[in-house]
Amino acid sequence: MDWDYLRYIRALAIGGTFAKAGELLGVHQTTVLRRLDQMEDSLGLRFFERNRDGLQLTPVGEMAYREAERLAVDMENLERKLVGQDGAPIGKVRIAAEDTLMNELLSPILAELVREYPDIELEVLTDNDVANLSHREADLTLRPENKPQATLEGERIAAIDSAVYGAAKYCRQHRAMDIENRPEDCTWIVPDETFSHLATGRWYRKHLKNASSLIRCNSLQSMVALARSGAGLAVLPCYLGEPAKELRRISDPLEGESVDLWLHVNQDTQQMARVRIVMEFLAERLKALESAIEISSTL
């Protein structure tokens, strides 16, 4: 068996499509397709099932992929020993997070990371829909979830608190508002079903069931922008609401509505030195932001 086959199998398994595998390998997707046909024909085996949604590993493909990952770790360790760079990690690390977490929490940390480890090549994957953040595509995934799968490895960073926020001008225009007893009298900016992971969904169902004036968004960034403009009130994660100078927090952190923030590591790549180093770096600095994520103060 040609050793190069494993390199293509690994890229196809991670990418899920010929186009993404080609990007990982630095070749055109037709080259990837041709190589897959060649290896399957020469060995009389089928490594992937092909369908409209992409590629799925067969049992034989799963075995080959595991071996490819093991060899990737071995090759990385050998390379580092040969070049005498045990203290300086080299190579690509893929990090996935929601846009808001990337913009508000991760960006300055990643800037510090690349200054300290210039030989690490970062690939950043973002999505507004947390369910679309694939653990297989990323080495590290920062995501809010209260009950992560038992098979996932990672570290809990903090509990993301949420509270009600409104622009100062909206509050001035609605001085008589009573969000505790008559929340339905206000205009509310709420997330749509793509944010089903947010614990605050329970608060909406309990307090806003009679609200008639709603603006629905599929993006936390859009919710923040609308709230800052004075369009209405919004329940926002405190790490987004507190720094926004146009917004006022008009409630205590919602009791029982926090969601845990986890930094997960891909089991297939967690043994790679560069992935371990980046995970430790991110976890340390994210935990240092705990006071901005968990708000203990009351009004």
pLDDT tens digits, one per residue of 111-158:
999 999 998 999 998 876 655 555 557 889 998 888 777 667 889 999
Which tokens go with 65?
């992929």
For residue 57, the number of C-alpha atoms closer than 13 Å in the C-beta half-sphere is: 17
Q: What is the pTM of this model?
A: 0.68
User: Domains of the chain, with CATH numbers?
Assistant: 3-83 (1.10.10.10), 91-158+259-293 (3.40.190.10), 162-249 (3.40.190.10)
Q: Tell me if 18 sits within 8 A of 29, measured CB to CB.
A: yes
Torsion of CA 73, 74, 80, 81, to 10 degrees: 150
pLDDT tens digits, one per residue of 25-50:
888 989 989 989 988 898 888 999 98
Which residues, at least 6 apart from 228, have a Cβ–Cβ distance to it below 8 Å? 167, 244, 246, 247
What pLDDT was estimated at residue 7?
87
Which tokens go with 277?
């180093």
Q: What is each CA distance from 215 to 14, 173, 198, 225, 235, in whole angstroms?
A: 38, 18, 17, 12, 12
Task: Kindly report the number of other CB atoms within 10 A of residue 70's CB atom.
Answer: 13
Q: How far apart are CA 1 and CA 192, in angstroms?
A: 50
Three-state SS for 2? Answer: coil
The amino acid present at 26, given as its one-letter code, is G
Q: Would you place residue 271 in the very low, low, confident or very high pLDDT band (cuts 50, 70, 90)? A: confident
